[in-house]
Structure 1
Amino acid sequence: MKRRAAIIGLGHQAAEDHVPGLLGSSRAELVAVCDNNPDILHDRADTLGVPGFARASDLLAETAPDFVIVAVPHHAGRAVIEVCAAANVHVLKEKPFATSVKEARELAGICHDGRMELMVTLQRRFNPIYTSVAGMLDQIGTAFLVGGHYSFHTPNPGAGWRGGLKQAGGGCIIDMGYHLIDLLLWYFGLPSRVIAEFSTTALPEGGYDAEDTAVVQLGYASGLYGSLVLSRWMAPKTEFLRVVGTAGSVVLTKGSVQRLALDGTVVEELTRPYAPSVATAQIDYFCRVLDGERPNVSGPEQHLAHAAFIASCYESKTAGRYIDPKEML
């Protein structure tokens, strides 16, 4: 019997990932949708053939889903989680988990007290390309340098709610950068020092205050150090993570991962030219978590580290010095 699922927030992410993901799931079915834009709500509800609601509380009361996928603007996430916790409804939430360390701690407590399972959406964790990296890192000796890059061009970085700090909690670091930060924490854990430079100057007189471009420098007690480059302005769309060690290197892109010898020769490579829906895999995994068959690898406790890393980036610019993310916790 399939789990009953609903979607709260019908923007781009829901349309591109969560709706197709649910329609392709073998373990969950879409039973309702919710959005505060009446035009979008009625259009999607009619197209999908499910009831639509303007208020999350009404959706939960009338359709009693097993879990909801929450894809709302960053500032609105907490209120939806609180409503779901009060109704004992589980949540699969679009990143970020929270907009600050304080909010992350409070949300973790709300989930615990509500006996509710929450998993943050990080689809790269369900792609074999990314899960194979740890094994390759073991083959390159002592890793000492890491470099990440994630950029694309959006004509107006200030458009919509993502352009404002009050609603978004930050710009490219907390939003698109969350994916690259997650890879870093997944493979290496939380750094011991972080410092960031960022700006809102890509579009002069754009009228936005959430950073469009950032460079984050970081280091570990182990001796590993490096940087992340993030931009919502820089073309072409590029995503990679490179790790250099004493016996070789690993280069990860969205479609492949390579292990290179010291001279740059490819020693091994994994590609995935035919990929099933990662969104569906993520939903099916969450259903297995709810059924007690899998651990929640992306829950509130894990994402306290993400919140600390991101807070360190913003705090470091204000302080003008390196910040230890662990001190944020």
Structure 2
Amino acid sequence: MGKIKVGVIGCGSIARRRHLLEYEASDDAQIVAVVDIIENRAQEMADKYNAKAYTDYKDMLKNGGIDAVSVCLPNNLHAPVSIDALNAGMHVLCEKPMATSSEEAQNMVHAAEENNKVLMIAHNQRFVSSHQKAKKLLDSGELGKVYSFKTTFGHPGPESWSIDGRSSWFFDKEQAFIGALGDLGVHKSDLIRYLLGEVDEVGAFVETSAKENTEIDDNAVCILKMKSGVIGTLAASWSYVSGGDNSTLIYTEKAVLKLEADPDYPLVVHYNNGDIVKYELAKIQSNAEGGQTTTHVIEHFIHSIVHDTAPLITGDEGMKSLNVILAALQSNETKQFIQLKN
């Protein structure tokens, strides 16, 4: 099998800082096409990666010769573009949140099944070393019963991250559909499901308190009850003005696990007998310079295609993580706890 021929749809920041760089680093992938409605952005990336530039993704799909695509577009375009690519016979890696409704997500999953193609959602938290190590410790049973958790993802907002700054689609309700909760919170709903199993019930407060002239949420605090009965909180924010917080604390019978909460040690375990174990592990990916060099997302996606295996974050997994966030929105609107139908 030759190299997987890849097209990247959308040439904004996530494509430039993650997808294109990581495809280029892959021995098994070759970037052959890039798409952006702003022609010079597409051309700039085409020149850089020796690819063909398009301004309409449908032209790229029609021309063929592509095995897989990354969908790096505003949230409202994730589902329609992914479905078109799957129906055109391509494997799809879609950015998160995968869709703007459960119905859209289900249609994506169905399209992948119908066409027998890989659909993967770019939830990179599952590949972080501290998160994988914590999962092994929790699954081993040696920590006893899990009592509670706190998981947080916050930073100052997408203004400095997005290629379009404050005028970005991130702040446009029609294109984004959801703000910090979908941008950051969905990563944490995916992580907590990975670590502790399915979510059963959600309550939430979702606010716009830090950003002006937008209807998009920038602060959310959710209460989650897991199927196991474990309760905890999930916070997502674009208002942590002096940097970021990407931490998770898990409180168990025999220890407290602190993930990405210490500047030097990605995982610290405080045992109830007084012992403290500090794990030196690869650092988590961050938007700052000097962050972890790879998210492992592209590597895993390409591996799934080459070896014909299901990815760690299938469309179905992405949909379950999205449903937690959709339930949080519903809870905030109705002022009731929302039961999930997993």
Deviations 1:57-84 (A, max 9, x none): 2112335111011101111112211221
Deviations 1:106-159 (A, max 9, x none): 221122222221111122323332211112223321111100111111386964
Q: Secondary structure at the match of 1:109?
A: helix
Q: Give runs of aligned pairs for residues 306-317 of structure 1, distance below 5 A.
A: 306-317=321-332
Shift in alpha-carbon separation, 1:108–1:256, aligned structure 2, 3 A: same
TM-score (norm 1): 0.91
Once residues 250 and 167 of structure 1 are traced to their aligned partners in structure 2, the CA distance between those partners, rounded to angstroms, is: 37
- For the pair 1:182 / 2:161, whether they are aligned, the reply is no
Shift in alpha-carbon separation, 1:191–1:264, aligned structure 2, 3 A: farther
2:162 aligns to what? none
- Residue of 244, 256, 260 corresponding to 1:253: 260
Shift of 1:48: 2.3
1:148 aligns to what? 151
- For the pair 1:242 / 2:246, whether they are aligned, the reply is no
2:173 aligns to what? 165
Once residues 222 and 69 of structure 2 are traced to their aligned partners in structure 1, the CA distance between those partners, rounded to angstroms, is: 34
2:297 aligns to what? 282
Q: Secondary structure at the match of 2:97?
A: coil
- For the pair 1:272 / 2:273, whether they are aligned, the reply is no
Once residues 158 and 309 of structure 2 are traced to their aligned partners in structure 1, the CA distance between those partners, rounded to angstroms, is: 41
**Range 87-96 or range 258-267, more displaced:** 258-267
Shift in alpha-carbon separation, 1:199–1:36, aligned structure 2, 3 A: same
- Aligned residues of 1:32 and 1:63 also touching (Cα < 8 A): no
Once residues 92 and 301 of structure 2 are traced to their aligned partners in structure 1, the CA distance between those partners, rounded to angstroms, is: 9
- Aligned residues of 1:158 and 1:164 also touching (Cα < 8 A): no
Q: Secondary structure at the match of 2:338?
A: coil
Query: After TM superposition, what 4+ stretches of structure 1 lie above 6 angstroms from structure 2?
Result: none
Shift in alpha-carbon separation, 1:56–1:185, aligned structure 2, 3 A: same
Q: What amino acid is the match of 1:209?
A: E
- Aligned residues of 2:35 and 2:57 also touching (Cα < 8 A): yes
Q: Give identity over the alignment, percent.
A: 22
- Aligned residues of 1:28 and 1:284 also touching (Cα < 8 A): no
1:320 aligns to what? 335
Shift of 1:268: 4.5
- For the pair 1:197 / 2:208, whether they are aligned, the reply is no
Q: Return 5+ residue gaps in structure 1 as ranges.
A: none
2:47 aligns to what? 46
TM-score (norm 2): 0.88
Once residues 323 and 73 of structure 1 are traced to their aligned partners in structure 2, the CA distance between those partners, rounded to angstroms, is: 27
- Aligned residues of 1:9 and 1:71 also touching (Cα < 8 A): yes
Deviations 1:193-213 (A, max 9, x none): 11110211213xx22111001
- Aligned residues of 1:26 and 1:284 also touching (Cα < 8 A): no
Shift of 1:42: 1.9
Q: Return 5+ residue gaps in structure 2 as ranges.
A: 160-164, 284-289
- Aligned residues of 1:155 and 1:233 also touching (Cα < 8 A): no
Shift of 1:184: 0.5
- For the pair 1:213 / 2:229, whether they are aligned, the reply is no
- Aligned residues of 1:289 and 1:296 also touching (Cα < 8 A): yes
Shift in alpha-carbon separation, 1:221–1:8, aligned structure 2, 3 A: closer
Q: What amino acid is the match of 2:81?
A: V
Q: State the aligned residue count.
A: 324
State the superposition RMSD in angstroms: 2.2
**Range 100-109 or range 124-133, more displaced:** 124-133
Once residues 251 and 293 of structure 1 are traced to their aligned partners in structure 2, the CA distance between those partners, rounded to angstroms, is: 35
Shift of 1:322: 0.8
Q: What amino acid is the match of 2:248?
A: L
- Aligned residues of 1:36 and 1:54 also touching (Cα < 8 A): yes
- Aligned residues of 2:105 and 2:315 also touching (Cα < 8 A): yes
